[in-house]
Structure 1
Amino acid sequence: MEFIPNKDDDTKMVSKVVSFDEVVKTSIETFRNTFGSDPDVAACAPGRVNLIGEHVDYNDGFVLPMALPMVTVIVGKKNGTPSNCDVLTCFEGTDEDKRAQFDSSSIAKGIPKWLNYIKGVMFHYGQTIPGFNAVVNSNVPVGGGLSSSAALEVATMTFLEQLTGKKIERSSDKALICMKAEHTFANMPCGIMDQLISVCGQRNRALLIDCRNLITQQIPFDAARLAVLICNSGVKHELSTTEYPARRKQCQQALELMGLKSYRDANERSLNALICADEVLLRRARHVITEIKRTAFAAEMLKANNFEQMGKLMTESHKSLRDDFEVSCHELDILVEAALGAPGVLGSRMTGGGFGGCTVTLLRKDSIEDAVKEIDTIYSRKVGGKYRARFFLAEPADGARIINLNNY
């Protein structure tokens, strides 16, 4: 659900529901108009928002994401050729070619860039893939830190399983294939969180992931009383060529200086080894160590319905990301500050890789409209009209799944 300020009356908020059915129907219609037949295979996978546990998935930490109702959909069918693939995307906001053909028997990364996520999954899938036609559609915002890339990768994996009849049994193996695709075909050294929550999400559950051994635990989320508000700053990030790889390298350097093999073996006393070595590495490691601890505690608080403490931990996470890990930005800080002063808000933080994208705010359900109005007013005033925030209300949703085309 997207909240948009009503220009005629700023005291009201108008909700616009982006329907899952609309995304599927548009995909089917586009396929029919493009390829002259109906698709017979369809799959989808969601984006995600991470409640807490940022930049620790590649450091053996704990993360606590939830799957979003917003999804990427792929519909298609075999086209009778051994390996000719023809894919069309309905993604908005891309200035690249929206249709591309390639050979599944000789996959190589290239342009358009969006196709590399699909190609990467196909390459690492490890099965012979026949020629197919497909349409890709999505209502996951691109560049907003809600993991549109993982949604595309996992949707591709789920689509390929149906197309080939070759199922990958273990959820963790599916996520690992998709993560490897992002590493090798999109040049993004991400952790496992985004792909695993896209595979394993459940309605009204957050997912505690132990990124060291990929053990997961479904954590009940009281959707009757709580709301998760995602605020898109409007600032887009491009992490693979900027600061994300640098942060990952710094974390590894700090770990080596502490004489440890895993951050799970570290505690705050371990930081003493960095005091005289490197101030930047000290702060990077301090964020990772404290964030792992915060996330494990947050899962316990969510289970215990201690929402006030859960909110405080989220806010502490933002301060650490801002000051120690230095991945926030002016606009994200304004959104968090505005949220923390709004009615009914329990906690707020940046989410995703950083340098733009979104914040995630935990608040009481009966305070949504008042909180959105106040955050929007403050953000609009302080950023000087350069960016306009967009607000999405989300509840934990199901992960990747097959779509029954008979329903459409």
Structure 2
Amino acid sequence: MASPIRPIDDVVKEATDAFVERFQCSPEVAACAPGRVNLIGEHTDYNGGYVLPMALPMVTVVVGKINGTRKCNILTTNQQADKPWEVEFRVTDIISGKPKWANYVKGSVAFFRRLEPSKVPGFDAVISSNVPLGGGLSSSAALEVAVFTFLEALTGEKEESLHKKAISCQEAEHVYAGMPCGIMDQFISVMGKENHALLIDCVSQQVELIPIKDPELVILVTNSNVRHELTGGEYATRRAQCQIAAKALAVDYLRPVSEEDLEVLKDVGLDDVIIRRARHVIRENKRTVEAAQALQSGNYEQFGKLMTESHISLRDDFEVSCPELDCLVDAAIEVNGVLGSRMTGGGFGGCTVTLVYKDYVENLIRCLRAKYSGEPTFYIVRPSEGCREIPLNKTE
């Protein structure tokens, strides 16, 4: 059976109870932001391409109140996070360090009001989440956007542009967490809508809502429980390899490049690895646009086919899969009722996403359990809302 997703009410209660125990008073403000699953369009965002994520029902919640000082005291209830689970820093002196999870918080505080942390009041806060860490479901962006949204509620100063809000959170991750991520994760966490995926053009930053409403379809997220660590270097290596290809073609990023240009890369003597990286990006952009069109027209068989092709490309050309993810995808596509399956997220562990008809989902889960040597976790998910403030006297 799939694992139940803990209701937001329960996550808010966990955070609130921890706040009362630690700070001996009640929080006054709460906000949340969702993780995401990317349906297709992987490692294309930082290449100026297209991505098609959806917001998840799993969220990170921040509760707290102004404390009348210049200090921030922040506690996380997530014991999977690296220790210590409580940090203190001054809003006028925000420096990256350990624990790692706190750097995402510090970055959002620093970039709130566009790098004017002196305008942020000191506050006490507790963070709780049901977004799996290291699962490729963007727990980091959920944390950044939740903290930013919490600060908006705390101060009454809302960012007028959702685009600017997402970009502030992205830059916070670049500067404070040292992770050169693209814009996808923050955009979907800010702008997600129920029953819709979001087609994002990562050059123009234009977004288009793509409906996913067919009640006969199920999106199954399978966590391999192989935890990835993108700051370990592989992500930055792939990004650098794409930049080498773009430079050789005299473009800023690989978005305008065609398959014919791959011959140019061969002619200038770039090695096969760089060429395969570029080939993945070129084809993945095309697949993502076609996938959005397939969803719009209700051609779910075509959408599933493109998902599986995406995984093969990520496995063979971009080389960011791993044996565990390959096992889950290979097993899924053999099951009746499955339309397509792929790894999702940066790779090297984390989750797969599978499109399946609802009448076949339980059989799919049984087959994956039987064929996977590890202990997977399964979540049946629907496209959900983006970040929002949560009234503490009437939680969702």
Shift of 1:345: 0.6
Answer yes or no: is 1:356 the counterpart of 2:349: yes
Task: Please give the residue correspondences for 1:253-402 in structure 2 after superposition, counting only pairs within 5 Å.
Answer: 253-276=244-267, 277=269, 278-380=271-373, 387-402=374-389
> What residue number does 1:28 align with?
16
Task: Please give the residue correspondences for 1:8-407 in structure 2 after superposition, counting only pairs within 5 Å.
Answer: 15-81=3-69, 83-125=70-112, 126=114, 127=116, 128-276=119-267, 277=269, 278-380=271-373, 387-407=374-394
Letter of the 2:83 counterpart: E
Shift of 1:95: 4.0
Per-residue CA deviation, residues 30-89 of structure 1 (Å, 9 max, x unaligned), is 1111111111110000000000000000001000000000000000000111x1111110
Shift of 1:129: 0.7
| Helix, strand or coil at the partner of 1:121 | helix
Letter of the 1:97 counterpart: P
> What residue number does 1:11 align with?
none
Shift of 1:306: 0.3
The separation in 2 between residues aligned to 1:72 and 1:302, in whole angstroms, is 28
What is the aligned length?
389
Shift of 1:100: 1.2
Instruction: Note if contact 2:79-2:85 (Cα within 8 Å) is conserved in structure 1.
Output: no
Name the stretch that deviates more: 55-64 or 275-284: 275-284
Instruction: Note if contact 2:5-2:58 (Cα within 8 Å) is conserved in structure 1.
Output: no
Normalising by structure 1, what TM-score?
Answer: 0.93
Shift of 1:29: 1.1
The separation in 1 between residues aligned to 2:348 and 2:253, in whole angstroms, is 26
Letter of the 1:284 counterpart: R
In structure 1, list runs of 5 or more residues that go unmatched. 5-14, 381-386
Letter of the 2:142 counterpart: A
Instruction: Note if contact 1:258-1:271 (Cα within 8 Å) is conserved in structure 2.
Output: no
The separation in 1 between residues aligned to 2:288 and 2:327, in whole angstroms, is 23
The separation in 2 between residues aligned to 1:52 and 1:131, in whole angstroms, is 40
Per-residue CA deviation, residues 183-206 of structure 1 (Å, 9 max, x unaligned), is 111111110000000000000000
| Helix, strand or coil at the partner of 2:93 | coil
Per-residue CA deviation, residues 120-157 of structure 1 (Å, 9 max, x unaligned), is 11112234111110000000000000000000000011
| Helix, strand or coil at the partner of 2:199 | strand
Shift of 1:119: 0.3
Shift of 1:22: 0.6
The separation in 2 between residues aligned to 1:36 and 1:246, in whole angstroms, is 47
The separation in 1 between residues aligned to 2:155 and 2:90, in whole angstroms, is 16
Letter of the 1:23 counterpart: V
The separation in 2 between residues aligned to 1:122 and 1:199, in whole angstroms, is 16
Per-residue CA deviation, residues 239-273 of structure 1 (Å, 9 max, x unaligned), is 11220000000001001112323322211111111
| Helix, strand or coil at the partner of 1:46 | strand
| Helix, strand or coil at the partner of 2:220 | strand
> What residue number does 1:384 align with?
none
Letter of the 2:103 counterpart: N
The separation in 2 between residues aligned to 1:330 and 1:79, in whole angstroms, is 49
Instruction: Note if contact 1:223-1:395 (Cα within 8 Å) is conserved in structure 2.
Output: no
Name the stretch that deviates more: 181-190 or 144-153: 181-190
The separation in 2 between residues aligned to 1:351 and 1:92, in whole angstroms, is 24
| Helix, strand or coil at the partner of 1:136 | strand
Cα RMSD after superposing both structures: 1.1
Letter of the 1:372 counterpart: I
Name the stretch that deviates more: 391-400 or 165-174: 165-174
Letter of the 1:57 counterpart: D
Shift of 1:223: 4.4
The separation in 2 between residues aligned to 1:298 and 1:175, in whole angstroms, is 24
The separation in 1 between residues aligned to 2:226 and 2:320, in whole angstroms, is 13
The separation in 2 between residues aligned to 1:152 and 1:365, in whole angstroms, is 31
Shift of 1:94: 2.6
Shift of 1:175: 0.8
The separation in 1 between residues aligned to 2:102 and 2:14, in whole angstroms, is 20
Normalising by structure 2, what TM-score?
Answer: 0.96
